[in-house]
Structure 1
Amino acid sequence: MPEIGKKLPPLKGLTGDGRELKLASLKGQWVVVYFYPKDSTPGCTTEAKDFRDLHPDFRKRNAEIIGVSRDSQKSHANFIAKQQLPFSLVSDPDEDWCRAFDVIHEKVLYGKRHMGIVRSTFLINPDGKLASEWRGVKVAGHAQAVLDAIPAS
């Protein structure tokens, strides 16, 4: 599990457009990594749209946004196109990113237990160290709270 003030492991993954994204390549800027359960579901769509709508403000603060779920690259490509998302979504079918950030936990849906992604967000500083984390996120107002945690340039 990542610790505040510590460097993160060298993660990489494929994005919806087929590019390889390496977390280490984003050093020198703020990085928001948000984990969500599933493309095109109501809460996940609202969260993605909130980050999309605030994207220009994140860019003004030298911050990159990355969404991560276990969905396929094709699913991500469709979700990006449909919601006009200006940031990358990493496909994590092997749960490498999910395990590194410890976001897979037992959940209950309609009385049935399953292992799934707990909606979580991590803010990485320009030195590549974890600056803040939000676990068990409620979507309303979350993207703004993350933006507010990044110092204005």
Structure 2
Amino acid sequence: MLTINQAVENFILPSTNSEEFSLANYIGKNVIIYFYPKDDTPGCTVEGQDFRDHWHLFTEMNCIIVGISRDSIKSHEAFKAKMQFPFELLSDIDEKICDLFGVMKLKNMYGNQVRGIERSTFVIDSHGLLRKEWRGVKVPGHVQEVLDYIKTVSNNSHK
């Protein structure tokens, strides 16, 4: 599992833009990766909408945003279109990147233990280093927290 200030190895995942997403293509940008449990569910919808509604502020600070879940690209395409997300959703069906970031957890659902993605967000800086992580994210106010963090990083880099 990754730790803060560790270089994140390049990874490639299928993306909603009909291309593959390769982390290496984004050296020079801050990459915000948010892992979420499932397309088109209430919490995941609100979280995605919040990133969408703040997207322009993130792009002004040299950031890209990507969402990752285990859903298929077909599911992602429908979710992205319905919600008009300006960023890509990546499909991690085999959980390799979920495992790299350590977001797969046992959860209780209706009294049963199920394996699923723990809602988490990570910031990888322009040099490819993991700089910040939020695990067990509660949706309300989370995107603002990420934005506030990016503002402090971006202000420090201009000094």
Q: Relative to structure 2, which stretch is displaced further, 8-17 or 135-144?
A: 8-17
Partner in structure 2 of residue 58 of structure 1: 58
* Residues 1:40 and 2:31 are matched in the alignment: no
* Residues 1:113 and 2:107 are matched in the alignment: no
> Offset of 1:146 from its aligned partner?
0.5
Tell me, in whole angstroms, the C-alpha distance in 1 between the residues paired with 2:4 and 2:121: 13
Q: Relative to structure 2, which stretch is displaced further, 129-138 or 1-10?
A: 1-10
Partner in structure 2 of residue 14 of structure 1: 14
Tell me, in whole angstroms, the C-alpha distance in 1 between the residues paired with 2:97 and 2:58: 22
Partner in structure 2 of residue 123 of structure 1: 123
SS of the residue corresponding to residue 57 of structure 1 reads helix
Letter in 2 for 1:130: L
Tell me, in whole angstroms, the C-alpha distance in 2 between the residues paired with 1:95 and 1:121: 16
TM-score, normalized by length of structure 1? 0.98
Structure 1 residues without counterparts, runs of 5 or longer: none
The Cα RMSD (Å) is 0.8
* Residues 1:89 and 2:89 are matched in the alignment: yes
Checking the alignment, whether the CA contact within 8 Å between 1:16 and 1:75 is kept in structure 2 is: no
* Residues 1:71 and 2:67 are matched in the alignment: no
Checking the alignment, whether the CA contact within 8 Å between 1:17 and 1:73 is kept in structure 2 is: no
Task: Report Cα offsets for 1:96-121 as digits up to 9, x if no partner.
Answer: 11011010010101111010000000
Which has the larger helix fraction? Answer: 2
**Percentage identity across aligned positions?**
48
Partner in structure 2 of residue 103 of structure 1: 103
Tell me, in whole angstroms, the C-alpha distance in 2 between the residues paired with 1:19 and 1:91: 12
Structure 2 residues without counterparts, runs of 5 or longer: none
TM-score, normalized by length of structure 2? 0.94
* Residues 1:4 and 2:30 are matched in the alignment: no
Tell me, in whole angstroms, the C-alpha distance in 2 between the residues paired with 1:134 and 1:93: 22
Residues 152, 8 of structure 1: CA spacing in aligned structure 2 closer, same or farther, 3 A cutoff? closer
Tell me, in whole angstroms, the C-alpha distance in 2 between the residues paired with 1:24 and 1:142: 26
Partner in structure 1 of residue 149 of structure 2: 149
